[in-house]
């Protein structure tokens, strides 16, 4: 019964002579007993951060007249959960300023004050509420308040809040504070619903939505730094002087172990909508006249949200590390046919529509499985100095301010100001200037080129925020208005990206420059085309396939890959772009199309969506044709006509079917059909070089009607030849390798899961046109682009 009183008295006896009791002043927190309940007290977050944070609170506040009791709550019965709780409690570490003797004493008493309480039913919460009240009466304690930390999934918030409201409210005059961990919803509607549900049980001033990034010392220093250095920053903190703002969070870890949560949220919801967005508002909001005025800070943040320009899918690039889908299949028990579109990487450009920042890009980017663990916000200023000779001079280097959150090469939190900008002012003793440096570089510049400020004492973010909760400070927490404004901004982009295929990347240093993106007006695109080389490994004998993403090449050529529908959209767009360019430059577009089933979706796309395609100036040629009458269903031309040509307006003399039927005979060499087609090509196509040739590839590696085992070298300089197919009808007419390789651009379209083994095999074989005719496609001066859908690529 008396453990709280005796523990407090014992500690007070050791410190009151040195420090004295903190006298309660007007407006200060009410001194008395504080009950702390961590719901989810045996979970990972509690083990890693929360118990450590509350231990620091206890160690720093118990000598100020407060008494405490701590409860880890959870679903398990007490006898099963208590060992897990105390295993976590034993790992807490004392603040640096405590002596060894005092540390041991404080830690011993903290363990005595902590216990486990099962919180599964409404009756459990009722019993806890009764216990807290009885403890106050029995031990003669005056209650200061009750603090509930909900370290549980967000779907449980509303029920737990209702139970706290019904059964666990403190006595009159004491405060109630309920801490909520992200995520606060999945989009605007769900966040609004959750806020409404919580509002029926808790007052807004009782809710503390925690974003641990706001507890990071560098992040909490952004506004004070801007104020302290306003004489330097006010003239240059605008679009005329700032080139761009970058807010970056890079992680090396994968999502393994968090997949059930992560696959619902992805990188934008997980860290960009909250952490990086909060940093953005701190960097761009107007400075409040009173930094501690929570309402003024909120008003200034909301002004930024109201000025943010609408985001659509063109404002973002997204990626997914290659093993993510396998992890999803394993942890969510999905079949091998399941493919997740959840992004694990995103690069996003934001603009603020106010005069101060108009057209100034703000880049927010984050990802898992990147090359290093690092977080920072960089303000890159324009440099108006042109250096003729001394390029290593400090004045020739980038002008920038870096809010360095930690990790990376520097390994400690810091604010760095390049020496060609200004020397920052130090206005308090909690920060110091670093004058002795290790030989490291930060964002491409030696550390010696910066003025470096760092906290005098480094403190953990959760410990900082727990102290703020105890003090009743709400300036480091997310209000309802702030939350809904953020979700209102991000939700349209999230919905726009919902069905977009992310770019696959291998992870770590192997990413190379695959994820680099470029800014084009208000659009963001990857700087390099993603090209995938396939390898197959057997992991643990399970036969699971692993696909390594390689930069820039598939069989030493460009490649575009996407889900089938998006791939066809891309190919159709590329065709129209090539047509418009050719017509603009030469008045004609010469397009050669192959048969087979793969291009049918393309034909339909061109016929029904590309109304501005320059058909009147386009000449359509055949890559190959079966030796059957052109009116029969087996005819490639019949397929082309039925699915494309009859739906578009083009002069009939611009259509060039292969002359496989002459003199009422099919493909008789004496009729010289191949020679006639070659003559037409020479007469009409400049330098006999088609602008675009579209090919497919068969299961045996054939392309056009050039088949394995054929003596392709025998075609010599011919552009058109009669060939033999192993399947009926055996006779065909085809463009030769020479005709195809003279083209300005050759596209190879490969679609469907049935082509997966072929794509895998082709990625390994060497060029051998007689065995694999497709390997003979090597444009002499043009481009080869592979268009492979994910079904063919991933199987």
pLDDT tens digits, 444-480: 899 999 999 999 988 899 999 999 999 999 988 999 9
Averaged pLDDT for residues 367-379: 96
Q: Which of 651, 656, 644 is nearest to 607 (CA)?
A: 644
Which residues, in sequence order, are bridge partners of residue 33? 67, 143
Q: Is 695 helix (H, G, I), strand (E, B) or coil?
A: strand
Q: Which of 517, 524, 527 is nearest to 316 (CA)?
A: 524
Q: What is the mean pLDDT of the chain?
A: 88
Interatomic CA distance for residues 726 and 724, integer angstroms: 7
Has this prediction a pTM greater than 0.75?
no
Q: Which of 272, 247, 409, 275 is nearest to 344 (CA)?
A: 272
Cβ neighbour number for residue 546 with a 10 Å cutoff: 14
The C-alpha angle with vertex 308 and arms to 305 and 312, in degrees rounded to 5, equals: 125
pLDDT confidence of residue 529: 59
What token pair was written down for 313? 């899918």
Q: Is 751 helix (H, G, I), strand (E, B) or coil?
A: coil
User: Tokens 């390689």 belong to which residue?
Assistant: 550
587: CB partners within 8 A, 6+ apart: 617
Is the separation of the CB atoms in 360 and 307 below 8 Å?
no
770: left (phi > 0), else alpha (psi -120 to 50), else beta? alpha
pLDDT confidence of residue 156: 92
Q: What is the DSSP string of 172-237?
A: TT-EEEEEEESP--SSHHHHHHHHHHHHTTS-GGGEEEE-GGGGSHHHHTHHHHHHHTHHHHTTTS
Q: Is 169 helix (H, G, I), strand (E, B) or coil?
A: coil
CA dihedral angle for residue 225, residue 231, residue 237, residue 243, rounded to 10 degrees? -100
Query: Distances in Å between the alpha carbon of 249 and those of 42, 491, 537, 748?
Result: 28, 21, 31, 38
pLDDT tens digits, 206-232: 999 999 999 999 999 999 999 999 999
pLDDT tens digits, 572-622: 999 999 999 999 999 999 999 998 777 999 998 999 889 899 999 999 999
Q: Which of 486, 716, 723 is nearest to 626 (CA)?
A: 723
- Cis? peptide before 183, omega within 30° of 0: yes
Query: Distances in Å between the alpha carbon of 166 and those of 195, 339, 345, 601?
Result: 18, 44, 43, 61
DSSP H stretches of helix in 588-665: 600-609, 636-643
Interatomic CA distance for residues 739 and 162, integer angstroms: 75
Q: Please determine, for residue 6, whether its predicted confidence score (pLDDT) is greater than 50.
A: no
The C-alpha angle with vertex 170 and arms to 148 and 152, in degrees rounded to 5, equals: 15
Is the separation of the CB atoms in 56 and 469 below 8 Å?
no
Map out the domains of the chain with their CATH numbers.
32-181 (3.40.50.720), 216-383+397-459+476-526 (3.30.360.10), 550-794 (3.40.50.1360)
pLDDT confidence of residue 30: 66
Which residues, in sequence order, are bridge partners of residue 345? 319, 367
Among residues 33, 56, 212, 275, the one annotated as catalytic is 275
Q: Which of 130, 141, 195 is nearest to 168 (CA)?
A: 130
Averaged pLDDT for residues 63-91: 91
3-state helix, strand, coil split of the chain in percent (to 5) is: 40, 20, 40
Q: Please determine, for residue 169, whether its predicted confidence score (pLDDT) is greater than 90.
A: yes
Length of the chain: 795
CA dihedral angle for residue 567, residue 572, residue 575, residue 579, rounded to 10 degrees? -160
Active site residue 275: yes
Is the separation of the CB atoms in 651 and 614 below 8 Å?
no
Pick the range with the lowest mean pLDDT from 13-27, 70-84, 217-231. 13-27
């Amino acid at each position: 019964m008396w453990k709280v009183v005796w523990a407090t008295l014992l500690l007070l006896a050791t410190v009151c002579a040195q420090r004295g009791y903190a006298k309660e002043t007007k407006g200060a927190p009410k001194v008395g007993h504080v009950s702390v309940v961590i719901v989810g007290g045996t979970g990972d977050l509690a083990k890693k951060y929360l118990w450590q944070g509350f231990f620091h609170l206890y160690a720093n506040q118990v000598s100020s007249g407060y008494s405490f009791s701590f409860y880890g709550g959870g679903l398990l019965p007490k006898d099963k959960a208590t060992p897990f709780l105390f295993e976590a409690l034993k790992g807490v570490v004392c603040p640096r300023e405590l002596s060894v003797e005092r540390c041991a004493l404080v830690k011993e008493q903290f363990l005595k004050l902590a216990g486990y309480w099962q919180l599964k039913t409404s009756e459990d919460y009722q019993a806890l509420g009764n216990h807290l009240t009885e403890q106050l009466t029995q031990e003669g304690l005056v209650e200061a308040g009750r603090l509930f930390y909900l370290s549980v999934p967000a779907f449980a918030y509303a029920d737990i809040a209702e139970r706290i409201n019904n059964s666990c409210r403190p006595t009159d005059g004491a405060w109630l504070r309920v801490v909520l961990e992200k995520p606060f919803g999945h989009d605007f509607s769900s966040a609004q619903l959750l806020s409404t549900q919580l509002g029926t049980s808790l007052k807004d001033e009782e809710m503390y939505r925690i974003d641990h990034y706001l507890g990071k010392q560098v992040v909490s220093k952004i506004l004070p730094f801007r104020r302290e250095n306003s004489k330097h920053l006010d003239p240059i903190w605008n679009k005329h002087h700032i080139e761009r703002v970058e807010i970056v969070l890079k992680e090396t870890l994968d999502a393994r172990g968090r997949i059930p949560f992560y696959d619902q949220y992805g990188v934008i919801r997980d860290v960009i909508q909250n952490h990086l967005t909060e940093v953005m508002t701190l960097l761009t909001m107007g400075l409040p006249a009173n930094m501690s005025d929570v309402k003024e800070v909120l008003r200034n943040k909301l002004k930024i949200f109201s000025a943010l320009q609408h985001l659509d899918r063109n404002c973002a690039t997204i990626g997914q590390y290659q093993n993510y889908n396998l992890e999803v299949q394993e942890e969510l028990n999905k079949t091998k046919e399941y493919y997740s579109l959840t992004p694990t990487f995103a690069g996003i450009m934001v603009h603020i529509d106010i005069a101060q920042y108009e057209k100034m890009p703000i880049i927010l980017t984050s990802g898992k499985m990147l090359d290093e663990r690092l977080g920072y916000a960089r303000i890159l200023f324009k440099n108006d100095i042109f250096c003729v000779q001394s390029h290593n001079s400090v004045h020739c280097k980038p002008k920038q301010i870096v809010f360095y959150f930690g990790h990376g090469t520097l390994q400690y939190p810091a604010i760095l100001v390049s020496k060609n900008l200004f020397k920052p002012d130090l206005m308090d003793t909690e920060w110091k200037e670093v004058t002795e440096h290790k030989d490291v570089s930060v964002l491409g510049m030696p550390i010696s080129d910066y003025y470096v400020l760092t906290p005098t004492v480094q403190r953990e973010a959760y410990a900082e925020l727990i102290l703020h909760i105890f003090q009743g400070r709400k300036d480091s927490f997310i209000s309802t208005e702030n939350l809904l404004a953020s979700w209102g901004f991000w939700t349209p982009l999230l919905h726009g990206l919902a069905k977009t295929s992310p770019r696959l990347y291998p992870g770590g240093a192997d990413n190379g420059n695959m994820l680099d993106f470029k800014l084009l007006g208000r659009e963001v695109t990857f700087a390099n085309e993603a090209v995938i080389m396939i390898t197959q490994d057997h992991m643990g004998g399970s036969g699971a396939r692993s696909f390594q993403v390689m930069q820039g090449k598939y069989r030493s050529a460009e490649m575009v890959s996407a889900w089938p529908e998006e791939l066809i959209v891309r190919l159709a767009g590329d065709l129209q772009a090539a047509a418009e360019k050719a017509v603009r430059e030469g008045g004609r577009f010469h397009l050669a199309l192959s048969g087979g089933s793969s291009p049918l979706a393309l034909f339909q796309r061109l016929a029904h969506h590309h109304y501005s395609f320059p058909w009147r100036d386009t000449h359509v040629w055949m890559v190959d044709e079966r030796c059957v009458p052109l009116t029969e269903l087996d005819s490639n031309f019949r397929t082309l006509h039925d699915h494309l040509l009859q739906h578009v307006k083009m002069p009939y003399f611009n259509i060039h079917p292969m002359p496989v039927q002459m003199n009422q005979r099919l493909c008789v060499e004496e009729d010289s059909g191949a020679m006639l087609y070659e003559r037409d090509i020479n007469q009409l196509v400049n330098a006999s070089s088609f602008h675009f040739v579209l090919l497919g590839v068969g299961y045996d590696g054939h392309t056009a009607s050039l088949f394995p085992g054929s003596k392709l070298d025998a075609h010599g300089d011919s552009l058109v030849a009669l060939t033999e197919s192993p399947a009926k009808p055996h006779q065909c007419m085809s463009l030769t390798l020479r005709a195809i390789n003279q083209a300005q651009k050759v596209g190879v379209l490969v679609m469907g899961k049935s082509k997966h083994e072929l794509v895998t095999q082709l990625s390994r074989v060497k060029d051998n046109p007689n065995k694999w005719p497709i390997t003979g496609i090597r444009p002499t001066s043009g481009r080869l682009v592979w268009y492979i859908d994910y079904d063919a690529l991933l199987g």
